[in-house]
């Protein structure tokens, strides 16, 4: 049996742009993608903390160190510049793999610079 588990997460990133006229996807600073273990063109789920929207798209690598988090295409209608989002990827793991697997949770500051990378989320904690 396989289970779908959190693979990588960029926690509380700030949307820097929303480009309705782009083909689609989310452009994310490559430093953030790498730290979270999220690949270019990988499917991700996005949660907008400001309005509760939840949606899926795929990633496009943005310039390293730029802090860019830009929603493109139709997804641009679901966010505004300055919104706080959580970007998550998922992996399929077998039961034995689950025992030793640790997701990568990237904590960022208000400029989308990496503060820390952790492998767990403490319960009842605001990160």
Active-site residue set: 25, 58
d(CA 90, CA 103): 9
Structure tokens at 23: 């083909």
> Residue 85's beta-bridge partner residues?
13, 48
119 known ligand binder: no
27 known ligand binder: no
d(CA 98, CA 95): 5
d(CA 54, CA 40): 20
Neighbours of 76 (CB within 10 A): 20
Question: Residues within the annotated binding site?
Answer: 57, 73-75
Question: Residues within the annotated binding site for substrate?
Answer: 57, 73-75
């Amino acid at each position: 049996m396989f289970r779908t588990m959190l693979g990588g997460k960029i926690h509380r990133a700030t949307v820097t742009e929303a480009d309705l006229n782009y083909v689609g996807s989310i452009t994310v600073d490559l430093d953030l993608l790498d730290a979270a273990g999220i690949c270019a063109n990988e499917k991700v789920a996005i949660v907008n903390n400001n309005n509760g929207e939840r949606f899926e798209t795929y990633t496009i690598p943005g310039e390293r160190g730029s802090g860019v988090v830009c929603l493109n295409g139709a997804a641009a209608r679901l966010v505004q510049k300055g919104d706080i989002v959580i970007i998550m990827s998922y992996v399929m793991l077998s039961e034995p793999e689950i025992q030793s697997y640790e997701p990568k949770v990237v904590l960022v500051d208000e400029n989308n610079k990496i503060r820390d990378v952790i492998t767990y989320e403490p319960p009842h904690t605001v990160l």
